[in-house]
Amino acid sequence: EAGVTQFPSHSVIEKGQTVTLRCDPISGHDNLYWYRRVMGKEIKFLLHFVKESKQDESGMPNNRFLAERTGGTYSTLKVQPAELEDSGVYFCASSPLGDGAIEQYFGPGTRLTVT
Where do contacts with another protein occur on this chain (CB under 8 A)? 30-31, 33, 35, 41-45, 48, 50, 55-56, 91, 95, 97-104, 106-109
Number of neighbours of residue 10 by Cβ within 10 angstroms = 10
Which string of DSSP letters, residue by residue, matches 53-108?
Answer: EEEE-TT--STTEEEE-GGGS-EEEEESS--GGG-EEEEEEEE---SS--PPEEP-
CB of 18 to another protein, least distance (A): 25
CB of 56 to another protein, least distance (A): 6
Is residue 111 within 8 A of residue 89, CB to CB? The reply is: yes
* Residue among 30 and 68 whose Cβ is closer to another protein: 30
CB of 80 to another protein, least distance (A): 25
CB of 70 to another protein, least distance (A): 19
* Residue among 44 and 81 whose Cβ is closer to another protein: 44
Is residue 25 within 8 A of residue 32, CB to CB? The reply is: yes
